[in-house]
Amino acid sequence: MSDTARSLVTIFAVLLGALTLAGGFIWVERRLLALFQERWGPNRLGPLGLFQGVADMIKIFMKEDWVPPFADKPVFVLAPMLIMVTTLASLAIIAFAPGLVVADLNIGVLFFLAMSSLGVYSVALAGWASNSKYALLGGMRAVAQMLSYEVFMGLSLMGVVMMAGSFRLTDIVAAQKSLWFCIPQLPGLAVFFIAGVAETHRSPLDLPEAENELVAGYHTEYSGMKFALFLLGEYVGMTVVSAMIVTLFFGGWAGPLLPPVVWFLVKTLFLMCLFIWLRASFPRPRYDQLMLFGWKVLLPVSLLNLAVTGAVLLVRGA
């Protein structure tokens, strides 16, 4: 019974932590962007404007939860829920520290991929159910983009899996005791990072919601709580991708002196700041450029990485 209680506690802690992190991170992003762009950012509410996020939350809760009459209602409602469900479910397999993991699955990496591939539905269905052309175009872009980048995402992880010899995340962390995989699997890391940006459709790869062309893309028709879910889902997704990168390439919780959880959070936060830095630095590519880059650069790179890793392992094993 204590096992169940323990998992319940873990689930609660992870959920709370992740949601707080994601919510708080909206403030971090705004401040950081302001820093990059030499302006102040939110600095009025509370110390350093820390309560800005809370104020936004309250505002969004109070807004009218409006469903357009031309929309496909059940699907319209379902779509924002899906993104939350899939991203939060991904959190279940992430090992924050020894023992601090909701489900230490033996197919952890695959579970992550499965959840991220289900995430496509949210965007696609949102675009379709809105029944408006900007949303539809955004949804179609999202489907093509995410479906393509999922392929490279999965392939880039396989090098790590081969080196660790397991899909289980704790095994992978353990396998990096002597050397973090970011060194031998540098191409994999690069591909995974880019694919992660595309999967979470963060800027600069935010073509499904490119505001200068598609208004707001797939969530043009969304407002209120449902919009908040999309927003939050995006940030949780970013957190999950960063946590995965930390787990797979940067030795997970490993680190000197400080407790493992702290190390894990520090690394994850650093990577999330990298996401913001990217957003501040790069212009958005054209849609065809994005697809060409994926299929003509990332796919060969990840396949080559896979082949070389396999060959090295084979030689070393023999």
Partner 1 sequence: METVFDISAVVAVVATLMVIAQSRAVHALLYLTVSLLAVAVVFFTLGAPFVAALEVIIYAGAIMVLFVFVIMMLNLGAEAARQERRWLTPADWFGPAILGAILLAEMVWVLASPQSAFPAPAANDPRAVGAALFGPYVLVADLAALVLLAGLVGAYHFGRRSAEAGEGEAP
Contact residues: partner 1, CB under 8 A: 72, 74-75, 78, 105-107, 110-111, 113-114, 117-118, 120-121, 124-125, 127-129, 131, 136, 139-140, 143-144, 147, 150, 154, 167
Comparison of 198 and 271: residue with beta carbon closer to partner 1:
198
Comparison of 27 and 149: residue with beta carbon closer to partner 1:
149
Comparison of 113 and 207: residue with beta carbon closer to partner 1:
113
Q: Are 32 and 273 in contact (CB under 8 A)?
A: yes
Tell me how far, at minimum, the Cβ of 48 lies from partner 1, in Å: 41
Query: What are the structure tokens assigned to 40, written together?
Result: 């102040």
Comparison of 72 and 213: residue with beta carbon closer to partner 1:
72
97 pairs with which residues across the strands?
Answer: 100
Query: What are the structure tokens assigned to 2, written together?
Result: 């204590």
Comparison of 10 and 117: residue with beta carbon closer to partner 1:
117
Report d(CA 169, CA 108) in Å as an integer.
Answer: 6
Q: Are 86 and 241 in contact (CB under 8 A)?
A: no
Tell me how far, at minimum, the Cβ of 263 lies from partner 1, in Å: 29
SS3 148: helix
Tell me how far, at minimum, the Cβ of 132 lies from partner 1, in Å: 11
Comparison of 144 and 172: residue with beta carbon closer to partner 1:
144
Closest of 109, 111, 213 to residue 156, by C-alpha: 109
Q: Are 95 and 170 in contact (CB under 8 A)?
A: yes
Comparison of 154 and 294: residue with beta carbon closer to partner 1:
154
Report d(CA 189, CA 250) in Å as an integer.
Answer: 10
Phi, psi of 40 (to 5 degrees): -90, -45
301 pairs with which residues across the strands?
Answer: none
Q: Are 62 and 69 in contact (CB under 8 A)?
A: no
Tell me how far, at minimum, the Cβ of 218 lies from partner 1, in Å: 11
Tell me how far, at minimum, the Cβ of 117 lies from partner 1, in Å: 3
Tell me how far, at minimum, the Cβ of 294 lies from partner 1, in Å: 15
Comparison of 79 and 197: residue with beta carbon closer to partner 1:
79
SS3 100: strand
Omega before 204 within 30 of 0, i.e. cis: yes
Report d(CA 170, CA 159) in Å as an integer.
Answer: 16
Tell me how far, at minimum, the Cβ of 161 lies from partner 1, in Å: 10
Tell me how far, at minimum, the Cβ of 239 lies from partner 1, in Å: 21
- Whole-Å CA distances, 291 to 74, 162, 283, 285, 287: 32, 27, 16, 10, 6
